Structure 1
Amino acid sequence: MNILKWAQWTALLVALSAPFCRPVVAQGFVDVLDTPAQISPFAQHGLLVGLAGAGERLVAVGQRGHILYSDDRGQSWRQASVPVSSDLVAVQFPTASHGWAVGHDGVVLHSADGGASWQRQFDGRRVGPVMLQHYRELARANPDDETLNALVGEAQRMTEEGADKPFLDVWFESERVGYIVGAFNLIFRTEDGGRSWTPWMERTDNPSALNLHAIRPADGELYIAGEQGLLLKLDRASGRFESSPTGYAGSFFGLLGKPGVALVFGLRGNVFRSVDAGASWGQVETDLPVSITAGTLLADGRLALLSQAGHLLLSRDDGASFQLQPQAAMAPVAAAQASGPQALLLVGTRGVRQLPVQ
């Protein structure tokens, strides 16, 4: 699970891509949404940002549309067939076969074969028009609703601007029902496996349209974490994501949980914990001034958090406290996944790497 703040990763992608960019002479513009990802023997060593399990398989996504999959716990990797070369930032599989990946240019990809091949389901060209049609219909039925009328204007603006808004995370609870979230309060829901998407912007307690960085379940509840301390929890009765305040005003990058406990983590080592389904949150001391950017559950039940610099924090008491683990070498971590009884698979600026865990 991951995700770094959108602006941070945009800057990082630009910086890493610059040395490899060459001027194009006498060639027309080619949209990344129309350009398949190139097969490269170096893909597993490039910038990878998202990581997920697809049954026993591991799937990683990253820059230029690269998607890799491994059937031997990360020892070897194969590159998937991908129809776009947009930068991808998150991936998730509700089953061993069906998975979704999202990223820049509003792209949403679907795989039905465990991540070996992918098809485009949605992209930024369609985000604005789908929003516009949806909110125009709602506004006609509710002409005095100021929120809906404002969303009509927002949808019109997005339609005019085109495919420039990223989705930053994806979560499917089944092969049919799922959510995608992104910049400026972008949130869509599907009930047909991504064949169609319904905007849910009016269903969030996010009047400032803050970026939505992560959507994940924790302790039986579904949460969204975002910038400026935004934390939302789905009220299934009303169908709304309602505020679940922690008292912290810094950005959150991810969520982690197990039965009985939920964690949200973000800037400057800040971690907050709830043991009452998000009714209240308490701060967990990490003594780490570096942003926490990834987290996962180990096979033995321990909770693991990793930092933007590569620090590893482990908890044996369900997140009540964390201990910093010594490492010989560190590198930035964007996402993590357990890859064995005592091992973590990490992705980040140096591609894929294994980390033994004692």
Structure 2
Amino acid sequence: MLLTSAPCAAVVAASAGPSGRVGSLGSALVTDLTAPVLRLVDRDPVVSPDELVAALVPPPRFADVRFSTYRPAPDEPSQARALHELAAFAQHISDRAQKPARKGLFRRAAAPAEGRGVYLDGGFGVGKTHLLASLWHQVPGPKAYGTFVEYTQLVGALGFAETVRRLSGHTLLAVDEFELDDPGDTMVMTRLLGALADAGVHLAATSNTLPDKLGEGRFAAEDFRREIHALSARFDTIRVDGPDYRHAGLAAAPAPSTDDEVRRRAAADPAGTLDDFADLSVRLAALHPSRYGRLVDGVTGAHLLGVRSITDQSVGLRWVVLIDRLYDRSIPVIASGDPLDALFTEELLRSGYRKKYLRATSRVLALARDAG
């Protein structure tokens, strides 16, 4: 399951223009490989706390999804049930948001009813994110949608109390890909969701692990297990079964491109980037994962030279986040070196983060196919 590139002539012809990267020689178009290309390693994205809050919306890939655009597989009844239950949950949130607050001259305002949550559990590529984003689109605001790392970074930027203050008036907090990467983040997120639910905020999350199994095989401390189980009680679990739609019925991914092919395609893409895989891995270590989205904003193609299978856990987890941000923005990936389905070694795939690596592999192969 590897990667190929489109014929060079077709790429150059489609990209000819005033960028200075494509020129002509007689009647034949050629790519100017000496023209400067953009590099992710040269970028230094900065995201303010206010921008972090404003950015809590579904990513571009899911900006237009709705319940009406979700197509349950006929042979997977859990998908139709999930769609029905999420639509009912959205109606419940909307009805409660429209209910006027009880007021009286001498009556103390009633405490808000505790917010409830739904938890979408299932494998990769069964439409959990589609359903979560559809729920967000369906309910009235204010509301927030983000990944686990985006919320933990928000707490780091604003402080816990300020984050609760800013989000406690929301109707819904949606958390995509709830994962337990770090014990400290686990405690922060558990406290945040608990405080917001107490304030009446409804919660929705996706993951590839049942909520009462989160952290299994990763942490031994008994107090973390207690935190995780307390969190799971906030959610009604909705199972979503099925095969990974991103690769259903598709042939094996084609072979990696050559270095020259990657350079030619990068030169023909005015908004594409070209990076050495090792250099970009080093650059990612210097950036907080919350900045990876801004890092790739505006990029139309990510071109990577010399991809090598990752053996280090920290490096692997950074690439998981970057691949998620590339996937959110539908940015094709063109690469040379090792096959993209071997990006994470078997040792990493046997680790406690196995499901993250498998999801990232599924997504990067989809982006490779998007590259054509």
TM-score (norm. length: structure 1): 0.26
Structure with more of its chain in helix, by fraction: 2
Q: Relative CO higher for 1 or 2, CA cutoff 8 Å, sep ≥ 6?
A: 2
Structure with more of its chain in strand, by fraction: 1
- Flag the structure with larger Rg: 2
TM-score (norm. length: structure 2): 0.26
